[in-house]
Amino acid sequence: MESVKNIRERLGSDWLPDLYSEQIRPLRTRSFKMDIPPREHSPMIIETLLGNEIQVGRTRIFCPDKATARYLVVFAGLGCRDIAVPYDITKLALYAEMLERAWEHTNHEIVVETEAMSPQKRGRVRAAVIRSIRDEIARIGAGDAMPLFDRSTRQRKN
């Protein structure tokens, strides 16, 4: 679709799949599976006594901290089921902010691209952009369930 291509070109380095493949996937990550339908959602972060949860429709996904919840809510909103989560939790808030900013920029570009279109055409363009993002992220993949630790743990030398 021509509109998807225009939006992707205007976003440049803020295209979510590019950020995901260049900034997040090269890191030590673990895969995370969300049992949600592959479509756009309006997820909410809920603070509980045991941590945070993301509510996507009737499904709740437990998150140990707010940064993880913020990171996952971007992908849950897109309907991505399998994603990579950085293992280093100290940098997770930074990546969550980067993804949130890119998603806001994407929404803005969708509005700019579709302002002269009918509501039905706007919906089709928005769905096509989200489908394109979701498909590219799925193609990049989530990686291994647990990261590889290639360091020796022996303290004594023979």
The pLDDT tens digits for 61-87 are 999 899 999 999 999 999 999 999 998
Q: CA nearest 32: which of 91, 88, 82? A: 82
Listed in sequence order, the residues at least 6 apart from 94 whose beta carbon sits closer than 8 Å to its beta carbon are: none
The pLDDT tens digits for 27-45 are 888 899 999 988 889 999 9
The pLDDT tens digits for 134-153 are 999 999 988 776 666 666 65
Q: CA nearest 128: which of 142, 110, 101? A: 110
Q: CA nearest 133: which of 113, 98, 106? A: 106
The per-residue pLDDT for 1 is 77
